[in-house]
Amino acid sequence: MSSHQDRRRSSRQRSRVAAFAARLMAQDGISDAALAKRKAVRSLGLPENATMPEDGAVEAELRIYQRLFQDGISDAALAKRKAVRSLGLPENATMPEDGAVEAELRIYQRLFQDEEQQVRNVHLLRIAARLMATMARFRPYLTGPVLEGTAGRYSEIDLQLFPNSAKEVELFLLNERIEYRHSVPRTERAEAVLTIVGDDAVANLVIYPPDEERVSLRTRDGKARERARLETVHRLLAAALR
């Protein structure tokens, strides 16, 4: 096996130990990071000499999962940024990939929030479908936690729009008497973000130039970002209500 493969295997093993230990600390009230790591190694069936992450890595992942599990954040990248800031770590600190964090969130939701989480996700899907129908002229796509099925009680709806200009969407909202506010775009490719705040849901209209519709937008991990048109959202709703 090459040294590159060895490093990747070691990295994956460290991530598994850190994630499991963080869950033990969050769920079982274990405050000793070293003890949590030893328990994680045994629970995962790894050898006693398994590569172990530093206590700081466990603490960092614990903060990530606290943001996800307790604060209701379902955006892995946002949870990691908050963890980095709360621990005073450098911006380039080594952190688990978004996909690994999202996988842990799904496990937690299945174990502890299954019914509540499913009901909330379906509710947000319905609102997203209504908004997409209203915004049909701007070629809307649903993306983010609501599409992925990981939306929690505080998750927001993310819609991508591809109008001729952001001003066109603003005029439409004004004419429809839909209140909105401007938010800071998370990516330089977005022209603007208009946020609609309802009684029980927040929707972000992320506006891109028309040509961007043909571009495959990617996550911070470099993976293609999932997105869906209204027809797909209707199919997801139908499947969830069976």
Residue 218 has a pLDDT of 67
Residue 126: pLDDT over 80: yes
Mean pLDDT value of segment 37-51 = 78
pLDDT at residue 7, as a whole number: 64
Burial class (CB in 10 A: 0-12, 13-18, 19+), 239: exposed
φ, ψ of residue 181 to 5 degrees: the values are -135, 160
SS3 201: coil
Q: Check residue 153 and give its pLDDT.
A: 72
The superfamily (CATH) of domain 115-240 is Beta Polymerase, domain 2 (3.30.460.10)
Q: Which of 205, 206, 175 is nearest to 190 (CA)?
A: 206
| Main-chain dihedrals φ then ψ at residue 26, nearest 5 degrees | -75, -40
Which tokens sit at 42? 């045994």
Domain layout of the chain by residue ranges: 3-112, 115-240
The first and second tokens of residue 86, run together, are: 């709360």
pLDDT at 194 over 80: yes
pLDDT at 169 over 80: yes
**What per-residue confidence (pLDDT) applies to 180?**
96
| 65-102 residue pLDDT tens | 666 666 666 677 777 777 777 777 777 777 777 777 77
Measure the CA–CA gap between 156 and 132, rounded to whole angstroms: 15
CB 117 within 8 A of CB 74: no
**Most confidently modeled of 8-22, 70-84, 98-112, 205-219?**
205-219
Continuous segment of H or E residues that includes residue 161? strand 157-161
Which amino acid, 212?
E
| pTM (predicted TM-score) | 0.66
Taking all residues of the chain, what is their mean pLDDT, rounded to a whole number?
Answer: 81
CA-based nearest residue to 88, from 71, 67, 63:
63
Region of poorest pLDDT, from 34-38, 103-107, 186-190? 103-107
